[in-house]
Amino acid sequence: MALGTAIAAGIAVAEEMTLERALEILPENGDVGITYSDEGRATLEAAIDVLERELGITAVFDHGDETAYMALDIPLEQKVWVNALSQAYYTLGDVFIEDDAEAKQVYARGQYWGLKSLRMSAAFSAEETRHGFVSAVEQETDPAALLWTYNNWARKDEYDPLGAIARNDPPKLVALIERCLDVDDSFVQYSPYRALAAFWGGLPPLPLYAYGQNLPRALSYICPVLDEPEFCEECADCPVDPSVGDYFENRLIFAQYYLMEKRLWTDAERVLQSILDEPTDDAHPLYNAYCRHLAAEFLETVREEL
């Protein structure tokens, strides 16, 4: 799509966006309901604008200040809107933003909305004040707040790994996503399994550090959402759901954070090609299309190693 056409399409989408439509494309337990396209991005950004406006965000709001989010007076019944914004910002950064500096800012906003959601719980806030963040997370029951806070925070930290270590972020991140797994392991197409596999497979190999890369652990988390008996033969209940193959990101994470890290190029080629060979459907229009795009990119790298 030409730039002028894309801008015009974006303006039209923004003018048509309503609160009801924004919440419709940002379901509580599912992928964002948009396509992998310029129009999809414009729709997502319009939804963000509407939700923030409804929550009282004005032009003078400081999007880079965590305390500004925490100071917002938002009724508890609108917590789902806050979670939707955290999901929307994560999706925007993950799928559509290519510039590193811009992506980091987007993930920070998503993280702050996630933290706002967590702290809207009086029990969470009280426990955090008394015993710290990890202790508060251990009693949290909102999977959306847990998942989207984790996803944004983890991605933001990828741009500043030394800073993340200095801030002692890794144990907080693990607490968030392990608690999400405990609360609802099937949330958003079994996201906690993928997140934990990517976490342990994507860390730098630091054998003397508790949070160094751990590929056996990564495999143990991704196996429940795979149909790979040769790799998951010790897993008695894998996959956890016969439909896991329909969601392409399960195989993509397996290839990216385990097979490619282990330099198992033949298997990586097979798994990535299987994503490209799948027929398209309407079940997951955004992430399945985006995963096909990434699979094609990874496949070029893999074939250089064969």
Range of the domain at 294: 185-306
Q: Is residue 297 part of a domain?
A: yes
CB 31 within 8 A of CB 286: yes
Question: Is residue 226 situated within a structural domain?
Answer: yes
Distance CA 102, CA 282 (A): 30
In a domain, residue 111? The reply is no
Q: What is the structure's pLDDT at 292?
A: 96
Distance CA 59, CA 53 (A): 10
The reply to whether 50 falls in a domain is: no
Predicted local confidence at residue 200, as pLDDT: 97
pLDDT, one tens digit for every residue, the chain (306 residues): 444 454 555 566 777 899 999 999 999 999 999 999 999 999 999 999 999 999 999 999 999 999 999 999 999 999 999 999 999 999 999 999 999 999 999 999 999 999 999 999 999 999 999 999 999 999 999 999 999 999 999 999 999 988 998 899 999 999 999 999 999 999 999 999 999 999 999 998 877 678 899 999 999 999 999 999 999 987 767 899 999 999 999 999 999 999 999 999 999 999 999 999 998 778 899 999 999 999 999 999 999 999
199 located within any domain: yes
pTM of the model: 0.94
Tokens describing residue 149? 């806070």
In a domain, 61, yes or no: no
Number of domains in the chain: 1
- Evaluate whether residue 290 is within a structural domain: yes
- 103 within some domain: no
